Chains A and B, each alone.
Chain A
Amino acid sequence: MTVRAVSPRSLRRRRALNLVMSGLMGLAAVLATLPLILLLGHLLREGASSIDLAFFTRMPKPVGESGGGMANAIVGTLILVGIAGAIGLPVGIGAGLYLAEQRRARLATGVRFLSDVLNGLPSIVMGIFAWHFLVRPVGHFSALAGGVALGAMMIPLVTRATEEMVLTVPTSLREAALALGYPRWRTSVSIVLRTALPGIVTAALVAVARIAGETAPLLFTAFGNHYWSVALDQPIASLPHQIYTYAKSPYDDWHRLAWAAALVLIGLVLAISLVARFVTRSRHGGVGD
């Protein structure tokens, strides 16, 4: 076989084209992160000055008085996310394990499809659903209803992510356990699930970060609360909802607090993502091929 010589002119054109295309891709990559950078910069400028110890430890002050914090909203968000995790993680992980281990089962195909549909469901619909079953019958808003709405959003996220992680466990490990005499369920739990665990933890953290900022499902479930409340059957404050209320108020003081709350919320999500990154990193360090 002979190699056809390339004329210097077409070679130059090829190089130039390559350079232009690489440049365009690089530009797209920068543009993709630009909104986040702008947003973070703006938040820092507007909100950082309002963040102090009082923001985390004090209650909101009445209109007209300056200062005050968002202790109730921060604790409220933690409680809501806790309820959501208690519902979403066990159900999601169990379902994901089932989908991965019984890939061909008819039930698995159905559940997989429904999970994808649920993932695409607007979050406000999830809020209406929780309102219908948990708010309307009892006649008042509650932290529980908000947590359930967020938990229901978490389930499909965790399910699909767990399934993907479990599928990365090599067949050879399953066979090794089975060949040692491990029954299937024990192979699934003590070999497959344990090996996939770092990945599942990462997925769970990403899901938590994702729902921690949800506002729509909370509008008519957790509703919000200007006072200190940790009761599960009472309305509860949350950071996203507080941002929503404060941002649309006419008071400058509240606007500043809303910026600060947004910054704290983003900080929380970033922190969770960083932990997730770290867990993933240690997984790749620990497990070979």
Chain B
Amino acid sequence: MTATRPDRATPTGEAREVPGLVESRGFNFWYGPKQALKEISLTIRPRSVTALIGPSGCGKSTFLRSLNRLNDIIPETRHTGSIRVGGEDIYAPRVDVVNLRQRVGMVFQRWNPFPRSIFDNVAYGPRLNGRPSRADLDAIVESALRRTALWDEVKDRLRQSALSLSGGQQQRLCIARALANRPEVLLLDEPCSALDPIATQKIEELLFQLKSELTIVIVTHNLQQAARVSDETAFFFLGEVIEHDVTARIFTSPKVGRTEDYITGRFG
């Protein structure tokens, strides 16, 4: 593909303990007999937004869910190859999945707050690590809500049900819930596909601010969104990464014909 990216200074495959650095090497994944991912080798730069695009069923979401091992809960799946997050092989036998999922947060397509209060939703993650004091918890919740620009909208009704919020607010609450764990990587699986344009814009602005602190990987079907929010884009097709490059180049001068076909709307 290209050789002009600064993060490729060291040879691939070597473990580097950079927080938020995600490196996939020769990663294959199967649902039963069906192979969903083929030899995925992808380096995701820390403190940037990487968009995963491609037609439905191409493996984007499977890859995303491999990064926090959420696919573990699906029976009869297997994988080969390696994925490293911050230098650590996340599929190594000694890895604690609980710890991994706190380091790698996730936001889903359909917002899924717990049917509890707004406060409790954000506090769920921190409460998992021992019993934080009331004051600590208050501070963590406020900071997470501020970072998602939700604080001013909900500060007077933290005790109300999270389900009383609008769809866009619920989705931002889910982002706040993930942020309260202080993750180094945030995975988003089509976070805006069920939101209206204004709510979508708010979330995109959020991603722009958050990327100064953590690595963001976003699966999206909306190519304009990929072009707007991401620094790099990877094009998935039939379980393979066809092309991975700086977003501007993917959208203006893709090197592979199939990428161009997809981006110009000839298929997909």
Contact = CB atoms under 8 A, between A and B. Distances in A.
A288 B170 CA distance: 12
24 contacts: A104-B75, A173-B114, A175-B112, A176-B112, A177-B124, A178-B73, A179-B68, A179-B101, A179-B105, A179-B178, A180-B105, A180-B177, A181-B97, A181-B98, A181-B99, A181-B101, A181-B102, A181-B125, A184-B73, A186-B128, A195-B114, A195-B115, A286-B161, A287-B163
B101 A191 contact: no
Interface string A249-282: 0000000000000000000000000000000000
B114 A172 contact: no
Main secondary structure, interface of A, reads helix
A91 B258 CA distance: 58
Interface string B98-118: 111110011010101111000
Given A175-B70, A180-B177, A287 B98 contact: no
A8 interface: no
Contacts of B73: 174-175, 178, 184
A179 B188 CA distance: 11
B174 interface: yes
Interface string A111-142: 00000000000000000000000000000000
Contacts of B75: 104
Interface residues of B, number: 27
Contacts of B48: none
A182 interface: yes
Given A175-B73, A180-B125, A286-B163, 19 more contacts: A104-B75, A170-B112, A174-B73, A175-B112, A176-B114, A178-B101, A180-B101, A180-B102, A180-B178, A180-B181, A181-B128, A184-B73, A186-B128, A191-B114, A195-B115, A287-B115, A287-B163, A288-B115, A288-B163
Contacts of A184: 73
A104 B74 CA distance: 12
Main secondary structure, interface of B, reads helix
B178 A178 contact: no
A172 B112 CA distance: 6
Interface of A: 104, 170, 172-184, 186, 191, 195, 286-288
**Most chain A CB inside 10 Å of its own CB: which residue of B73, B102, B110, B114:** B114
Contacts, number: 65
Interface of B: 68, 70, 73, 75, 97-102, 105-106, 108, 110, 112-115, 124-125, 128, 161, 163, 174, 177-178, 181
Contacts of A173: 112, 114-115
A72 B83 CA distance: 70
Contacts of A191: 114
Contacts of A182: 98, 124, 128
Contacts of A174: 73
A287 B161 CA distance: 9
A273 B70 CA distance: 41
A246 B241 CA distance: 81
A33 B22 CA distance: 65
Nearest to A287: B115
Nearest to B72: A178
Contacts of B101: 178-181
Contacts of A179: 68, 70, 101, 105-106, 108, 178
Contacts of B177: 176, 180
A104 to B, nearest CB: 7
Contacts of A172: 108, 110, 112
Nearest to A198: B115
**Most chain B CB inside 10 Å of its own CB: which residue of A173, A175, A176, A184:** A176
B98 A183 contact: yes
A104 B114 CA distance: 26
A203 to B, nearest CB: 18
Nearest to A187: B73
A174 B108 CA distance: 12
Contacts of B108: 172, 175-176, 179
A76 to B, nearest CB: 40
B227 to A, nearest CB: 27
Contacts of A183: 98
A175 B114 CA distance: 11
A40 B125 CA distance: 53
A174 B106 CA distance: 13
A176 B120 CA distance: 14
